Chains A and B, each alone.
Chain A
């Protein structure tokens, strides 16, 4: 396992759609694609079920980044869940930006069930970027 130069190993919470990104994660595993172990996956039935409160709670309770993984726009198993997730993610990032908080710790990736390598690449990218950003100050503050 490659460690960051400062030894910081970010904790990333991923909310992965059952039909696409969670299956892609399985595929990445069965095909032995290499990616860092920093992502803690939580399988959800649809990216559209992820209320921003889960993401905010994660960021306030120890996560250094959060990710929502859904089907590609247009391919939602429930027709429009990911379109609604897209609006919510845009809203959450917008609110973080307005308040001067780290909006770039909030990630969205559209990864289909057949895209195992893309899933591995996304986890690599998010882990590397979060290492550069360092620990999340929101999760360290006891008084929030």
Chain B
């Protein structure tokens, strides 16, 4: 049963109210470390920082609209070899949490000793847009504007069509949706670990609070709205990229740098097939292959790379848009990978990042399914 508590926003200042709470977590030794977005001292970025000294919690900026790296990747780097040996809270956006859940299922990360704090996410800008934004405005300005319901064209493409702007699997949720941000946020503990955090902070947790009910109603409406937006987005995308000619044009600017693969949180292979010796060929092989078509694009296998990546990770694509952010030539990767990913996920009735119990589609099977395969 979910329990909730109120986080009072003092003087309308959301960032400092949350930071006081984070500082409390360390001061009261509820946890020993927190992985949280910290304002870079230069003021031009907000990056994940692993904080052990409570003083640094004051530099946290959880709702700053920027996500330079999907935090799922960071936790993979931290816990792939051994789980955290100290109680560590991690503050993450919904898509980062979903990436983490997929990575755990792929045996690339471990949740032991981690306290997952998910935030209701109003979205993020690209890093370069955030630099411009941060020169003039704060995350509190952003939140207030985001919550008056106006469209924000500067949001990353991924955020504009986000399927789940609220956490699916988390210990504690920092709930904004349906709340009066000038006054308070709702903290929802859905697991024992989440309740442990609330208790450690000395907050009174109650069941079925008015704030929690209000949030749920607003979340349902929000998810419904996003569903409608996504349906139109997919229709548009099919029109824009469908068919070999349009697809070839989309990948025309690709330089096969593979940044998209490196940035993708669920593309986890330590040794990617595409940087393996399979693609280190003798000159005669290149020349022979070129002779077949009369001309051959170099570097080779551009579309093969993207299509193969799709078949490998479509089922786990959580739509965070890290691929698109990493592309130096603005290829609209998010829309392509979300279109194919969502359809593959529908095929297997799978929602990536929802639960540790849902089996990864490529590793599982049912005896009775997909009967048309083999018959056409």
Instruction: Determine whether the beta carbon of A86 is less than 8 Å from that of B244.
Output: no
Instruction: Determine whether the beta carbon of A90 is less than 8 Å from that of B340.
Output: no
Point out the residue from B247, B289, B293, B344 that lies within 8 Å of A101, measured CB to CB: B247
CA distance in complex: A144, B297 (Å): 7
List A contacts of B363 (CB < 8 A): 84
Chain A interface mostly: helix
Asked if A95 meets B307 with Cβ closer than 8 Å, knowing A73-B367, A108-B374, A144-B251, the reply is yes
Interface residues of A in 97-142 (CB under 8 A from B): 97-101, 104, 107-110, 137-142
Instruction: Determine whether the beta carbon of B294 is less than 8 Å from that of A142.
Output: yes
Interface size class of B (residues with CB under 8 A): 35 or more
B304 interface contact, C-beta 8 A = yes
CB distance from B285 to the nearest CB of A (A): 12
CB distance from B266 to the nearest CB of A (A): 15
List A contacts of B143 (CB < 8 A): none
Instruction: Determine whether the beta carbon of A100 is less than 8 Å from that of B311.
Output: no
List B contacts of A104 (CB < 8 A): 376
Fill in one digit per residue for A79-104: 1 if any B CB lies within 8 Å of its CB, else 0.
Answer: 01001101111111111011111001
**A-B interface pairs (CB < 8 A), number:** 118
CA distance in complex: A138, B339 (Å): 20
List B contacts of A32 (CB < 8 A): none
A53 interface contact, C-beta 8 A = yes
CA distance in complex: A93, B310 (Å): 12
B283 interface contact, C-beta 8 A = no
CA distance in complex: A107, B374 (Å): 7
Instruction: Determine whether the beta carbon of A101 is less than 8 Å from that of B244.
Output: yes
CB distance from A67 to the nearest CB of B (A): 11
Asked if A80 meets B311 with Cβ closer than 8 Å, knowing A61-B292, A110-B374, the reply is no
Instruction: Determine whether the beta carbon of A95 is less than 8 Å from that of B370.
Output: no
List B contacts of A94 (CB < 8 A): 340, 343-344, 347
A-B contacts, 23 of them at CB < 8 A, read: A51-B308, A60-B304, A83-B365, A84-B365, A86-B365, A86-B370, A87-B348, A87-B365, A88-B311, A91-B315, A94-B340, A95-B307, A95-B314, A95-B343, A95-B344, A99-B243, A100-B242, A100-B247, A138-B244, A139-B293, A142-B296, A143-B248, A144-B303
Closest 10 CB pairs of A and B: A100-B242, A83-B365, A52-B311, A144-B303, A100-B243, A142-B295, A53-B308, A98-B340, A110-B374, A98-B343
